[in-house]
Amino acid sequence: MNLKTRRIAEIDRVIHEPGRLMLVALLSAVEQADFLYLQHETEMNKGTLSSHLSRLEEAKYIEVVKTYRGKIPQTLLSLTADGRQAFQQYRRRMKEAL
């Protein structure tokens, strides 16, 4: 296996899925975002978005905080330090592979 092929094989599959890649990219640009913002920006339905966020949370790439804005429930999401590092490494490996 040549170096470029090996780089592609080493790409983080959790981040590489298009929906999760979009979420990680959005979260990398902000300190935190709420669920509705991510839903609006990605145009995902609630179930799909929740599924992708659960997978990212399992990988310890995002932190989920449930809170309230007044009496309205609010879900805030942010990249963890591991998530930021994984995204930087993903970007570096993609550049190397391409």
pLDDT digits (tens, 9 = 90+) for 78-91: 999 999 999 999 99
CATH code of the region 3-97? 1.10.10.10
Answer whether residue 72 shows pLDDT above 80: yes
pTM: 0.91
Answer whether residue 6 shows pLDDT above 80: no
Answer whether residue 2 shows pLDDT above 80: no
**Token pair recorded at residue 35:** 């669920």
Answer whether residue 1 shows pLDDT above 70: no
Contact 57, 64 (CB under 8 A): yes
Answer whether residue 98 shows pLDDT above 90: no
